[in-house]
């Protein structure tokens, strides 16, 4: 399978790349800004699983059509089977303190980047026999769940991603592209530890990564346009 994952330098994205690379048939394209971390991940995939992943240094808040490396890699493949919008930005600030810049950065990362990347990848996804877009959202992005002070920009950007998922499933149904959204509860990553220093996350990054990989690959045919909460507690 041809698989693209954003936010691959740490946390859940990093563990998903490792999980998918256990299958040597998988061709993985791993995206994030930190090239050193991506290089280490590439080495690890090669040493542990003999899988030569492709890495792309890319700030997803910039237009994808301006990243030559990304365009070149995409030109080299005919189709994309799985695209996981995993990269995320969480700014923990009271609403009254959030600046316009904070809102823009959060929405650019969590919402507009998936918009632009899905648009860019649409033709490659259409070429797949079983394309699956998986958007990684949050419990905070779901109506009537517990909300947390300081997370208004983050949670509302994740809510927009949930809605986008439903809209795209409808628009893409004749292209044989399924689009689903997983809304995660607490996962033990740097993002969670920074946002909630006094809380213990309920699942490990490896565990959730394994689940998302399996969902993306094995359960695509059972879901389309769904938002699935993946949480045993909130946060
Ligand atoms: N951990 C949780 O409890 C939890 C709960 C609900 C939802 N989620 C969601 O799960 C996803 C993964 O988060 P995580 O917990 O694994 O966090 P993480 O360890 O902080 O990873 C975030 C990833 O996003 C990438 N990223 C951020 N901004 C980027 C940008 N502008 N361009 C490219 N890449 C960017 C980071 O890479 P670089 O810094 O190298 O660019 C990093 O690889 C996120 O969407 C998050 O909102 C997490």
Distance from residue 106's CA to the centre of ligand 1 (Å): 11
Taking only Cα atoms into account, the Rg of the chain, rounded to an integer number of angstroms, comes to 17
Residue range 17-27: mean pLDDT, rounded: 98
Residue range 93-116: mean pLDDT, rounded: 98
Three-state SS string over the chain comes to CEEEEECCCCHHHHHHHHHHHCCCCCEEEEEECCHHHHHHHHHHHHHHHCCCCEEEECCCCCCHHHCHHHHHHHHCCCCCCEEEECCCCCCCCCHHHCCHHHHHHHHHHHHHHHHHHHHHHHHHHHCCCCEEEEEEEEHHHCCCCCCCCCCHHHHHHHHHHHHHHHHHHHHCHHHCEEEEEEEECCEECHHHHHHCCCCCCCEEHHHHHHHHHHHHHHCHHHCCCCEEEECCCCC
The pTM for the full model equals: 0.98
Q: Which atom of ligand 1 is nearest to the CA of 137?
A: 7
Domains in the chain (CATH in brackets) are: 2-230 (3.40.50.720)
Residue range 115-139: mean pLDDT, rounded: 98
Distance from residue 7's CA to the centre of ligand 1 (Å): 5
* Res. 126: pLDDT tops 90: yes
* % of the chain residues with pLDDT over 90: 98
Residue range 52-71: mean pLDDT, rounded: 97
* Res. 69: pLDDT tops 70: yes
> Which one, of 22, 169, 148, 24, lies nearest residue 95 by Cα?
148
The pLDDT value given to residue 234:
64
* Res. 235: pLDDT tops 60: no
Would you place residue 22 in the very low, low, confident or very high pLDDT band (cuts 50, 70, 90)?
very high
- Name the residue of 5, 42, 88 whose CB sits within 8 Å of the most ligand 1 atoms, as the mutation to test its pocket: 88
Could you give the CA distance from residue 23 to residue 44 in angstroms, rounded to a whole number?
14
Regarding the beta carbon of 61 and ligand 1, being less than 6 Å apart is answered yes
Distance from residue 141's CA to the centre of ligand 1 (Å): 15
Distance from residue 85's CA to the centre of ligand 1 (Å): 10
Residue pLDDT, tens place only, 164-203: 999 999 999 999 999 999 999 999 999 999 999 999 998 9
Residue pLDDT, tens place only, 144-167: 999 999 999 999 999 999 999 999
Regarding the beta carbon of 187 and ligand 1, being less than 6 Å apart is answered yes
Residue pLDDT, tens place only, 194-221: 999 999 998 999 999 999 999 999 999 9
């Amino acid at each position: 399978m041809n698989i693209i994952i954003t936010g691959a330098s740490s946390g859940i994205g990093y563990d998903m790349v490792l999980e998918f690379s256990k299958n040597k048939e998988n061709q993985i394209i791993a995206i994030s800004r930190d090239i050193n971390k991506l290089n280490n991940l590439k080495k690890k995939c090669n040493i542990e699983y003999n899988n030569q992943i492709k890495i792309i240094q890319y700030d997803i808040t910039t237009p994808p059509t301006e990243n030559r490396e990304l365009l070149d890699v995409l030109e080299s493949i005919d189709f994309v089977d799985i695209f996981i919008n995993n990269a995320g930005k969480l700014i923990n600030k009271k609403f009254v303190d959030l600046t316009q810049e904070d809102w823009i950065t959060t929405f650019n990362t969590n919402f507009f980047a998936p918009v632009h990347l899905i648009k860019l990848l649409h033709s490659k996804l259409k070429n797949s026999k079983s394309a699956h877009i998986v958007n990684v959202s949050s419990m905070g992005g779901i109506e009537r769940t517990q909300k947390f002070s300081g997370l208004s920009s983050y949670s509302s950007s994740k809510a927009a991603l949930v809605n986008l998922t439903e809209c795209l499933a409808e628009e893409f149904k004749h292209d044989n592209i399924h689009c689903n959204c997983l809304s995660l509860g607490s996962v033990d990553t740097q993002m969670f530890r920074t946002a909630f220093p006094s809380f213990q996350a309920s699942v490990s990054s490896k565990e959730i990564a394994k689940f998302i990989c399996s969902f993306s690959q094995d359960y695509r045919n059972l879901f389309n346009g769904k938002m699935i909460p993946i949480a045993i507690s909130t946060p």
